[in-house]
Chain A
Amino acid sequence: MARIGVFVCHCGKNIGATVDCERVAGEAAKIPGVVHSENYLYMCSDPGQLKIKDAIRDKKLDGVVVAACSPHMHERTFRRAVAEAGLNPYLAEMSNVREHCSWVHQDIEDGTAKAIDLVRVMVEKVKLNQPLTPIRVPVTKRALVIGGGVAGIQAALDIANGERDVILLERDPSIGGHMSQLSETFPTLDCSQCILTPKMVEVASHPRITLLTYSELEEVDGYVGNFQVKIRKKARSVDMDVCTGCGVCMEKCPVKKIPSEFNVGLSMRPAIYTPFPQAVPNVPVIDKENCIYYIKGKCKVCEKFCGPGAIRFDQEDEIVTYDVGAIVVATGYSLYSVGEKPPGSTIAGYGEYGYGNIPDVIDALQFERLASASGPTEGHMRRPSDGAEPKTVAFIQCVGSRCPEKGITYCSKICCMYTVKHAMLYKHKVHDGDAYIFYMDIRSGGKNYEEFVRRAIEEDGVVYLRGRVSRLYRKDGKVIVRGADTLSGTQVEIAADMVVTANATLAQPDSQDVAQKIGIAYDKYGFFSEKHPKLAPVETNTAGVFLAGACQAPKDIPEAVAQASGAAAKVLEMFAVDELEREPTIAVVNEDTCVACFFCKRICPYSAVEEKEIKDRDGNLIKLVSHVNEGLCQGCGLCVVACPSKSIELLGFTDEQLFAEINALAE
């Protein structure tokens, strides 16, 4: 005969107001098998937990039902208390008489009757509970960081400095991300490359970091603590161990007219190139689509001039695999383009801005390159069309952002701040120039950000005009900007020499692909979803996968770096133990009855079901059965439902237990 204890919580007035807790406890005492029943104001408090522990010892309980709030809140609390009293924690269950009962009832009679039912049902279940032990899985103490922007760099360095191995994966020929393209950074105006390149160099020389550039993620297998990742190292056509980075090949390459990705089309590069002089690693790649040799089978000029003989035209892509325990995703963002709607995109272009066809209308990233001392104009303000110094520049904020008509409802967050920086940099470079910024709101929440905006207006004479721009067109070598200033109630027309658009921050175009490979969720814009917007902002719903930087939402550098360090701390926390503990409420297969139809394998959303071979003593295959991987199973129960031969049970939620509950309710 079972010896079950029932503990009914008032939760102050939360439950007590609509459930007569004393009566519930009285009725529970009458259920066969219940040997102890009481009610108390706050069961989760120390004295409340002590009542449970005392009753377990005094009455020799073999099962506990706590009728209180949702198990999401306090199941851990009560199971820990039960374990401290020497009982297996999985012999304790919670009956939710708050969210499912008191909060949805107004009448105390109704509430009390339902609470009694809920307790009765749970008592019948607990009678059938079996002691369970948490599953222990080993941890591979090596992390994979995907994306070598400032967020990925920071996460990799923090984990490596915590004495753990890191693989840093970057798909471009160099690490650095967008930050390496920026001129100066708000709100301090320190030079972006000057603060970034020391970190890039540290990554390259860190003994704990394996840097894989020009490489892409192929596949992710496994589960928390035990992932297997497959990576494609694309052929650079240059031997990394031999190349000295002298750059002769780039000078000699006859192909000269490929728009530079790094300078956002404002300059040209050869077919063999490094994106920028401080690239890490400083080893060029051959862009096969534009190399004459790969197109026509002749040229090899670079090979001829390369002193150490590092060119390898026959190099092929290489697939490498690694075991890792944790993954940090730091793949960053991309920028909206004013151009016509790209195929397959839900986001429209700006016809009213000439679809980006006016040469002196540039985007913000191009402006960064114009303003950068290492950029195509060496930091001199020269407009693209004729190289003249622009004397009137109009900046347009919220281009694409906050514009449901174009398909983007959110605020891109960083553009208010970089636009004020741009106007300020422009005024510092062209003293007799005028800078006008069209804006809807100035969003400058951040340490010293508002002060930075006021400085631009009050000290540098930047003029803000509150309104969107409805149209851009060319006239007599000028770009006519038609906007408004709602503060004065006037229409505004500016004949500008150059226009800079603050384009919306978008997710990477392939982010959904990447998310599906890793098995994490994303929002409707393709930004990766955090586990909880407030309390778990760096975790994902997939255990062992963390987020850093602008791949989760638009972020500036300080925020990207802070999140990266947070993700690194989470990884190091995981790596501090040798084994991870997981809930034992998972599916198990009865191998005797399994007919190997593998419906379960097809339906499992976590790919936890494997095919297992049963062999005789001589190693001959007798039959195939299904097997559930303990590390991967999340206990969702889908396979249990799918199995036609009823060979799968979910521990803690067996058919027997569920029928006992239903029967109790039907009585």
Chain B
Amino acid sequence: MQLKVPGPMVVSDFTQQVEAIIGQSVSKCYQCGNCTAGCPAAPEMDFGPQRIIRFVQLGLKDLALTSNTIWTCASCVTCTTRCPQEVDITGVMDALRIIAQREHYPVQDRYVTALNDIFLGNIRTFGRQYEIGLIGKYNLRTRQFFKDVMLGPKLFFKGKLKLLPHRSGNVREVREIFRRVKEESAASSANRAGRA
């Protein structure tokens, strides 16, 4: 990997894009590594959160957006809580996921997106979560058909799983929320395109 100045990776654009979303400057990060030290998901990440912040500081957009880190992050906020410079690392992770989705960067972790998609799909359809549907669809889509099946009976007998989906009484309003979010994000990307 090489950082070229000036080069294809222009430092400030990407950095500013992230900073606009989190409402804070990433220049505060002094690379102490405390965020990586405390991150429960770090062992599964290709780069720890401290490296991701460094990529953002230097405008290394491709490195940041193609890493599995932003998808592995569980948004537990441990990093943000402990950062001595009060950098909102969790916010940066959110921002990077947003940018990656908008700009169609390939997601490096199919499990995470599969779960997110199915989870939100269920909510839009039923107005609330349908657990058996979620597990079934997820296992099918990720081709791990027997994952966690042994937990099924246990949960079922404790009354935690319903066989059929229940619709929320307010499903209409939930769908309205989905519509509005879509509209707004379309408007804002049109806006961005207009400005560019």
Which residues of A approach B to under 8 Å, CB–CB?
Answer: 392, 434, 436, 454, 457-458, 461, 463, 465-466, 485, 487-495
Residues in A neighbouring B54, C-beta threshold 8 A: 485, 487-488
Q: How far is the CB of A500 from chain B (nearest CB, A)?
A: 16
Residues in B neighbouring A461, C-beta threshold 8 A: 27
Residues in B neighbouring A492, C-beta threshold 8 A: 2-5
Most A CB within 10 A of own CB, among B5, B6, B25, B60: B5
B28 interfacial by beta-carbon distance below 8 Å: yes
User: Would you give the 0/1 interface string for B1-44, flagging 1 where the beta carbon is closer than 8 Å to chain A?
Assistant: 11111110001000000000000010110110000000000000
Residues in B neighbouring A436, C-beta threshold 8 A: 5
Residues in A neighbouring B3, C-beta threshold 8 A: 485, 488, 490-493
Residues in B neighbouring A491, C-beta threshold 8 A: 1-3
Give the docked Cα–Cα distance between A489 and B60 (Å).
11
Give the docked Cα–Cα distance between A268 and B155 (Å).
88
Say whether B1 contacts A494, CB under 8 Å.
no
Q: How far is the CB of B62 from chain A (nearest CB, A)?
A: 11
List B40-55 residues whose CB lies under 8 Å from chain A.
51, 54-55
B134 interfacial by beta-carbon distance below 8 Å: no
Beta-carbon nearest neighbor of A453 in chain B: B30
B63 interfacial by beta-carbon distance below 8 Å: yes
Residues in A neighbouring B83, C-beta threshold 8 A: none
Residues in A neighbouring B58, C-beta threshold 8 A: 463, 465, 485, 488, 490
Q: How far is the CB of B150 from chain A (nearest CB, A)?
A: 42
Q: When A485-B3, A489-B51 are in contact, do A463 and B28 touch as well, CB less than 8 Å?
A: no
Beta-carbon nearest neighbor of B59 in chain A: A463
Q: Which of A434, A457, A466, A487 contacts B27 (CB 8 A)?
A: A457
Say whether B5 contacts A488, CB under 8 Å.
no
Q: What are 6 A-B residue pairs whose CB atoms fall within 8 Å in the complex? A: A436-B5, A458-B28, A489-B51, A490-B2, A492-B3, A492-B4
Give the docked Cα–Cα distance between A490 and B47 (Å).
13
Residues in B neighbouring A490, C-beta threshold 8 A: 1-3, 58, 60, 63
Give the docked Cα–Cα distance between A216 and B63 (Å).
61
Q: When A458-B27, A458-B28, A463-B11 are in contact, do A488 and B2 touch as well, CB less than 8 Å?
A: no
Beta-carbon nearest neighbor of A466 in chain B: B31
Say whether B31 contacts A487, CB under 8 Å.
yes
The total of interchain contacts (Cβ-Cβ below 8 angstroms) comes to 55
List B67-91 residues whose CB lies under 8 Å from chain A.
none
Say whether B2 contacts A493, CB under 8 Å.
yes
Beta-carbon nearest neighbor of A491 in chain B: B2
Q: When A493-B2, A493-B4, A493-B5 are in contact, do A488 and B51 touch as well, CB less than 8 Å?
A: yes
Give the docked Cα–Cα distance between A662 and B9 (Å).
82
Give the docked Cα–Cα distance between A485 and B57 (Å).
12
Residues in B neighbouring A485, C-beta threshold 8 A: 3, 54, 58
Say whether A458 contacts B25, CB under 8 Å.
yes
Most B CB within 10 A of own CB, among A465, A490, A491: A490
Beta-carbon nearest neighbor of A392 in chain B: B5
Residues in B neighbouring A495, C-beta threshold 8 A: 5-6
Residues in B neighbouring A465, C-beta threshold 8 A: 58
Say whether A392 contacts B6, CB under 8 Å.
yes
- Beyond A463-B11, A488-B63, A490-B60: 17 further Cβ-contacts under 8 Å? A458-B25, A458-B28, A485-B58, A488-B1, A488-B3, A488-B60, A489-B51, A490-B1, A490-B2, A490-B58, A491-B1, A491-B2, A491-B3, A492-B3, A492-B4, A493-B2, A493-B4
Beta-carbon nearest neighbor of A462 in chain B: B27
Say whether B55 contacts A488, CB under 8 Å.
yes
Give the docked Cα–Cα distance between A494 and B51 (Å).
21
Q: How far is the CB of B14 from chain A (nearest CB, A)?
A: 13
Say whether A489 contacts B11, CB under 8 Å.
no
Give the docked Cα–Cα distance between A466 and B6 (Å).
18
Give the docked Cα–Cα distance between A463 and B25 (Å).
13
Q: How far is the CB of B96 from chain A (nearest CB, A)?
A: 15
Beta-carbon nearest neighbor of B28 in chain A: A458
Residues in B neighbouring A454, C-beta threshold 8 A: 30
Give the docked Cα–Cα distance between A571 and B19 (Å).
58
Beta-carbon nearest neighbor of A459 in chain B: B27
Most B CB within 10 A of own CB, among A466, A487, A494: A487
Nearest 10 Cβ contacts at the A-B interface? A494-B5, A488-B54, A491-B2, A490-B1, A492-B3, A490-B3, A487-B54, A458-B27, A493-B4, A487-B31
Beta-carbon nearest neighbor of A450 in chain B: B30
Q: How far is the CB of B124 from chain A (nearest CB, A)?
A: 39
Give the docked Cα–Cα distance between A492 and B63 (Å).
14
Beta-carbon nearest neighbor of A496 in chain B: B5
Beta-carbon nearest neighbor of B60 in chain A: A488
Give the docked Cα–Cα distance between A454 and B84 (Å).
13
Give the docked Cα–Cα distance between A628 and B28 (Å).
68
Give the docked Cα–Cα distance between A494 and B7 (Å).
9
Say whether A489 contacts B1, CB under 8 Å.
yes
Give the docked Cα–Cα distance between A457 and B28 (Å).
8
Beta-carbon nearest neighbor of B25 in chain A: A458
Residues in A neighbouring B2, C-beta threshold 8 A: 490-493
Give the docked Cα–Cα distance between A457 and B5 (Å).
18
Give the docked Cα–Cα distance between A466 and B3 (Å).
13
Residues in A neighbouring B5, C-beta threshold 8 A: 392, 434, 436, 492-495
Q: How far is the CB of B37 from chain A (nearest CB, A)?
A: 15
Give the docked Cα–Cα distance between A410 and B125 (Å).
69
Residues in A neighbouring B4, C-beta threshold 8 A: 492-494
Residues in A neighbouring B1, C-beta threshold 8 A: 488-491
Beta-carbon nearest neighbor of A394 in chain B: B5
Give the docked Cα–Cα distance between A465 and B11 (Å).
13
